[in-house]
């Protein structure tokens, strides 16, 4: 009986930890950091695996901490939405104090690990947590500009990897930041579109016009175009050590056209299904783009 209850409690702790840190999202963010790191290293043969491990674990801790703080702050609002009402804190499976302790421990571990890579990496990690919890989260119930503010911490991970590998923040890291910054808008507005009614219950303003209309859909198209332009900058030879070959540039362009197609489709149809499809395409887009950049570097 005891071993069964122990197994259940360990399993529930694991499940709650996954939920409070939003493991799926955290892992995808860590992947962005690893991609940036691989683009920053000069020699794959001498890849510093300990640094990479520190970045992965430290990055997970920082994202997990941000998500945990967010769920403590928004516990009452999360309880109003179908999407979030079963999270550990609003569902009563974890007290806000326990969640706060977990978030604080993760922050400390994350900052220490990132600091041992280099101070700049820790600084950007700290900025990310601060912007996400102290600026983006409160703004969500006030203005749709929250998405703009949230795009800053959301764009840091790709850049963070480069800074971790090189110790420098220059044109290369700035370009990686720009790519992921522009990507945030079509991605989050697509989510805000198909979850519009659910967000409305909690009073969250996610769409730029406040409505599922042509104005919002047009802005999604425009930011997708900016994203395509930003993703092709490394092919022009003005982004320092970060550059891609013409073949990679063609693949990146085609990838952008693929995403733009679904952005235009949302403009035409303006349905929840079209928005959900665009969201899924945007997730595939950013992953594939990062893989193209990495393989282009390995193969050239």
Residues written for the chain:
300
At residue 10, the pLDDT reads 82
Q: For residue 43, what are its two tokens? A: 């020699």
Asked whether the predicted pLDDT for residue 45 surpasses 90, the reply is no
Domain 1-168 matching CATH 1.10.357.140: the answer reads yes
CB 250 within 8 A of CB 228: no
Calculate what percentage of the chain has a pLDDT beyond 70: 97
Distance, in Å, from the CA atom of 261 to the CA atom of 87, rounded to the nearest integer, reads 34
CB 289 within 8 A of CB 252: yes
Show the DSSP H helices in the chain as ranges: 2-21, 23-40, 49-73, 75-78, 96-117, 119-130, 137-139, 146-166, 171-194, 196-202, 214-232, 246-269, 272-299
Q: In the predicted model, what is the mean pLDDT of residues 169-194?
A: 97
- The H helix count followed by the E strand count for the chain is 13, 0
Asked whether the predicted pLDDT for residue 272 surpasses 90, the reply is yes
At residue 300, the pLDDT reads 82
CA atoms within 13 A on the CB side of 48: 15
DSSP state of 245: -
Distance, in Å, from the CA atom of 150 to the CA atom of 153, rounded to the nearest integer, reads 6
At residue 8, the pLDDT reads 59
CB 279 within 8 A of CB 185: no
Asked whether the predicted pLDDT for residue 86 surpasses 80, the reply is yes
**What average pLDDT does the chain have?**
93
Distance, in Å, from the CA atom of 217 to the CA atom of 7, rounded to the nearest integer, reads 48
Integer-rounded Cα radius of gyration of the chain: 20
- Render pLDDT for 120-156 as a digit per residue (tens, 0 to 9): 999 999 999 999 999 999 999 998 889 999 999 999 9
At residue 121, the pLDDT reads 96
Per-residue confidence band for 242, with pLDDT thresholds at 50, 70 and 90: very high
CB 180 within 8 A of CB 150: no
pTM (2 d.p.):
0.93
CB 94 within 8 A of CB 16: yes
Q: Where are the domains of the chain?
A: 1-168, 170-300
- Render pLDDT for 197-228 as a digit per residue (tens, 0 to 9): 999 998 988 999 999 999 999 999 999 999 99
CB 31 within 8 A of CB 287: yes
At residue 40, the pLDDT reads 94
Q: For residue 84, what are its two tokens? A: 């979030």
Asked whether the predicted pLDDT for residue 7 surpasses 70, the reply is no
Listed as own residue / partner, the contacts of 292-299 with beta carbons closer than 8 Å and 24 or more positions apart are 292/244, 292/248, 292/251, 292/252, 292/255, 293/35, 293/39, 293/234, 293/244, 293/248, 293/252, 294/35, 294/38, 294/39, 295/248, 296/244, 296/245, 296/247, 296/248, 297/38, 297/39, 298/44
Asked whether the predicted pLDDT for residue 46 surpasses 80, the reply is no
Per-residue confidence band for 1, with pLDDT thresholds at 50, 70 and 90: very low
């Amino acid at each position: 009986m005891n071993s069964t209850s122990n197994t259940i409690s360990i399993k529930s702790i694991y499940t709650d930890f996954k939920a409070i840190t939003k493991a799926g999202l955290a892992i995808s963010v860590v992947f962005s950091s690893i991609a940036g790191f691989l683009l920053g290293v000069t020699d794959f043969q001498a890849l510093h695996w300990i640094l990479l491990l520190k970045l992965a674990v430290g990055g997970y801790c920082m994202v997990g901490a941000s998500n945990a703080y967010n769920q403590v702050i928004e516990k009452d609002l999360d309880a109003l939405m179908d999407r979030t009402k079963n999270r550990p804190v609003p569902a009563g499976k974890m007290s806000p104090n326990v969640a706060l302790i977990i978030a604080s421990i993760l922050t400390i571990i994350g900052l220490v690990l990132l600091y041992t890579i280099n101070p700049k990496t820790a600084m950007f990690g700290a900025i990310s947590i601060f912007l996400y919890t102290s600026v983006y989260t409160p703004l969500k119930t006030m203005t749709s500009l929250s998405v703009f503010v949230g795009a800053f911490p959301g764009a840091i991970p790709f850049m963070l990897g480069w800074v971790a590998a090189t110790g420098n923040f220059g044109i290369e890291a700035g370009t990686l930041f720009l790519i992921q910054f522009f990507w945030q808008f079509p991605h989050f507005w697509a989510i805000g579109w198909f979850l519009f009614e659910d967000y409305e219950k909690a009073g969250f303003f996610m769409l730029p016009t406040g409505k599922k209309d042509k104005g919002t859909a047009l802005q999604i198209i425009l930011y997708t175009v900016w994203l395509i332009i930003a993703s092709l900058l490394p092919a022009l030879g003005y982004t320092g050590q970060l550059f891609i070959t013409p073949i990679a540039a063609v693949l990146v362009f085609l990838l952008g056209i693929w995403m733009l197609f679904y952005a235009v489709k949302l403009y035409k149809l303006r349905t929840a299904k079209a928005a959900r499809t665009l969201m899924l395409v945007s997730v595939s887009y950013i992953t594939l783009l990062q893989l193209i950049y990495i393989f282009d570097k390995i193969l050239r």
